[in-house]
Structure 1
Amino acid sequence: MHNRRQTLGRGVAIGLAAGLWNTSVFATVYLDIEQGRKLLLPQAASFQPWPIALDAQTVAAIAQATQTRVPAGYAPAGWVGLDAQGARVGFVLADHVIGRYEWIDYAAGFTADGTLTQVEVLAYRESHGAEIRNPAWRRQFSGRKGPAQVQFNEEIRNISGATLSCQHVTEGVQRLSALVQQQLHRTS
C-alpha cells in the first residue's frame, strides 16, 4: 500500500515527464547549417570557416551599437562564402536565441559589404510563435546594413502571438549585423 507522499511524488514525476515530453514535441529542425548556407548565399561556390574575434572590446562595441545585452558566452559560428575563383562573396553567421522558453537556431547571410541577404530559421522548439518562419516576416531583413537598420518594432515589425520570438531573433540578427560591421572594419 502506498502512502500519500509516494502517490504525490509519482504524480509530480509523471507531470514533469509529461511536461518535458510536451515541450520537445514542438521541436522542429527545418534546415541544417549546410542547407542554410546555400540558401543564404547561393552565389557562393564554397564556404570556409570564419574565425571571429570576440574579445571584450568587440562584445562591448556590439552591445553599444545594438543597445541590447550581449548574452554571456556569445559565440556565433561564421563562414566566408567564396565564388569559384576564390573571391569573397559574403558571410553566413549562425546563432541561437531564447524564444519564450526554448532555443531558436537561426542563420543570417551577408554580402561582402555587410548587407543582409536574408534570415533563415534552422530549428524552432517553442509551442507558439513559429510564424517567424513566414517568408514575408523574414524578408524584412533583406537589404538592411548595420544594426541601426535592424530594430524591432521600427524596421522589423512584430507578429501577434510571436512577439518574443520576433523580438529575440531581431535582436540576434542585429547583433550579427553589428559583428559583421566590426569584423569588416578590422580588416579594412
Structure 2
Amino acid sequence: MKLNVVLILTFTLTLATTFLFNGDKKKVTKEVKAAFGVETFQITPKVFPEAETNKLPATFNADTFFEIKKDEALLGYAYMSNAPSKTDTFDYLVLFDANLIIKKTKVLAYREDYGGEIGSKRWLRQFEGKTTSDKLVYKSNIVAISGATISVRSMTAAVNQLLKSLQILQSKQLL
C-alpha cells in the first residue's frame, strides 16, 4: 500500500511538471535564467499538505508552485497560474527570491484582443520587490491601464491572494 502511494505521488509530480513545462518551458526557463543570473538550475514542485492548501486564497498544487535550486542551494520559487480576463483567462508567472520577495512577474499567455498591455515589462515591474506583508491596491499602488481594467484588477487580486497564501504558509512554518 505504501509503495503504491509513493508511486502515485511520484507519477503525479512528474506528470504535473511535464504538463507545466509542455507549453511554457522555454518562457519559464528564460525568465528564471534572467532573474537569477544562472544558466543551469533545477525546478521541482513544492507540495504542501492538502489540508493546508485547501484553506489558502491562491491555488497551490504540484503544477503551480516550484522550488528553484542550483546545486542544492535554494535560489527561490516560481508560481504559475491563470487569472480571468474579460471573456477568457491569462497565464502568469511570479518568481520569488529565497526570502519570498518578488523578483519578476510575467504574463505568459494573454488570450484577449484587448488588455494585453498588462504583459508590458514596464507595468509588471511595479510588482517587483513586493513581499508577503504588502497589500496591493488597484489605482493606489497598482497603476490602472485604460482598456485593461478587468485584467489589471484580476492580476492585482491574483498577486494579493498569492502573497497572502505565502504569508500563511510561512506562519505555519511550511516555507
Partner of 2:127: 141
User: Per-residue CA shift, 1:51-108, capped at 9, x if unaligned?
Assistant: 2326354443x43xxxxxx5xx76561221123x421121011100111111100000
Q: 1:96 aligns with which of 66, 78, 82?
A: 82
Alignment TM-score, normalising by the size of structure 1 = 0.67
Say if 1:77 and 1:93, in contact at 8 Å, map to a contact too. Answer: yes
Number of residue equivalences: 149
Change (3 A) 1:162 1:147: farther
Partner of 2:44: 49
**Secondary structure in 2 matching 1:183:** helix
For the pair shown, the structure with the greater C-alpha radius of gyration is: 1
1:77 matches 2:67: no
Q: CA deviation at 1:44?
A: 7.5
Q: How large is the Cα RMSD of the aligned pairs? A: 2.6
Partner of 2:169: 183
**Secondary structure in 2 matching 1:32:** helix
**Secondary structure in 1 matching 2:134:** helix
Percent sequence identity over matched residues? Answer: 23
**Secondary structure in 1 matching 2:105:** strand
Alignment TM-score, normalising by the size of structure 2 = 0.72
Partner of 2:117: 131
Map 1:1-188 onto structure 2 (within 5 A): 32-43=27-38, 45-53=40-48, 55=50, 57-60=52-55, 62-63=56-57, 75=61, 77-83=64-70, 85-146=71-132, 148-185=134-171, 186-187=173-174
Change (3 A) 1:124 1:90: same
Partner of 1:19: none
Q: For CA contacts below 8 A with separation 6 or more, give which structure has more relative contact order.
A: 1
In the alignment, the residues of structure 2 paired with residue 87 and residue 103 of structure 1 have an alpha-carbon distance, to the nearest angstrom, of 34
Q: CA deviation at 1:134?
A: 1.5
In the alignment, the residues of structure 2 paired with residue 110 and residue 51 of structure 1 have an alpha-carbon distance, to the nearest angstrom, of 13
Say if 2:94 and 2:104, in contact at 8 Å, map to a contact too. Answer: yes
Q: CA deviation at 1:129?
A: 0.4
**Secondary structure in 1 matching 2:79:** strand
Look up the equivalent residue of 1:111 and give its one-letter code. D
User: Per-residue CA shift, 1:18-55, capped at 9, x if unaligned?
Assistant: xxxxxxxxxxx8x6333333344434741332323263
Partner of 1:11: none
Say if 1:52 and 1:78, in contact at 8 Å, map to a contact too. Answer: yes
**Secondary structure in 2 matching 1:149:** coil
In the alignment, the residues of structure 1 paired with residue 137 and residue 47 of structure 2 have an alpha-carbon distance, to the nearest angstrom, of 23
Q: CA deviation at 1:180?
A: 2.8
Look up the equivalent residue of 1:80 and give its one-letter code. E
